[in-house]
Amino acid sequence: MKTKGNDVSDSVTVRLLEIYERLFAHYGDRRWWPADTAEEVIIGAILVQNVAWKNVERAITQLRAKGWLTLAALREAAAGDIEECIVSTLYYRMKARKLKAFAAMVHEEFGGDANLLLALPADDLRARLLGVWGVGPETADDMVLYAARQPSFVVDAYTRRIFFRLGVTRENATYDELRDFFMRHLPVDVGLYNQYHALIDALGHALCLSRRPRCGECPLRSLCPSCAAQPVGGE
């Protein structure tokens, strides 16, 4: 693995990698992001904002049936027609506008070729994505990591909850503080970042719940001060 100056022997790194290994041993390869093309990843990253992936799957199926799983097709489609396909993702009117704004940017600045956008160096790409209306830090990092396959650690609500409970990070840390923390202490490796984020989401969705966490089933129980304070099963 490339380290890009990271000290992968420090105690924080050792702990983060132990957490990763336990999660991977428990859940295995998450095979994330489920998409056939980079543009489908981009579309899914916008649709998944503030909603569970199962809702996005229904929308992706609807868009695929219409032949609208490309930015070029979304640019040409009427916003109202897109809305009808993505109702399951909530905030669907706003998300239709976001999809069209992103498609317009790629058309105007990159001749409609998303691969030219994704070929930008990671830092430049992230900065450009954050300049697109409707794209926040988590969405931008999803696109950098899963669409461009460049290193950028994705942080979400599960990351914040799990690593605060583990005693690794502060509860009120900002998004960028958390992202920088992981990128400073982990080897710079796209595959590692990919799996780690997916494993965090698996744990947060199934066991490390915001209320009544299922600590007795958690593969990190012996590492977690919060788990130690919970009765088995979180009852």
How confident is the model at residue 227, as a pLDDT? 80
Task: Note whether 133 and 156 are within 8 A (CB).
Answer: no
Answering whether pTM is above 0.85, one says: yes
Distance of alpha carbon 100 from alpha carbon 115, whole angstroms:
17
How confident is the model at residue 28, as a pLDDT? 98
The residue with tokens 């999809």 is: 99
Q: Of 44, 105, 45, which is closest to residue 75 (Cα–Cα)?
A: 105
Rounded to the nearest integer, the mean pLDDT of the chain is 94
In this predicted structure, the answer to whether residue 232 has a pLDDT above a threshold of 70 is: no
Distance of alpha carbon 221 from alpha carbon 136, whole angstroms:
32
91: left (phi over 0), alpha (psi -120 to 50) or beta: left
Looking at the DSSP bridge assignments, the partners of residue 204 are: none
CB proximity list for 34: less than 8 A, separation 6 or greater: none
| Alpha-carbon dihedral angle through residues 104, 119, 147, 130, given to the nearest 10 degrees | -60
In this predicted structure, the answer to whether residue 234 has a pLDDT above a threshold of 60 is: no
**Gyration radius (Cα) of the chain, Å:** 19
Domain 38-147 is classified in which CATH homologous superfamily?
A: Hypothetical protein; domain 2 (1.10.340.30)
Q: Of 34, 24, 33, which is closest to residue 142 (Cα–Cα)?
A: 33
Q: Judge whether 11-30+153-228 and 38-147 match in fold.
A: no
Provide the 8-state DSSP code for 233: G
Locate the domains of the chain by residue range.
11-30+153-228, 38-147
In this predicted structure, the answer to whether residue 52 has a pLDDT above a threshold of 80 is: yes
pLDDT (tens digit per residue) in 104-146? 999 999 999 999 999 999 999 999 999 999 999 999 999 999 9
**How many CB atoms are closer than 10 A to CB 25?**
9
Residue range 11-30+153-228 forms a domain whose CATH class is: mainly alpha
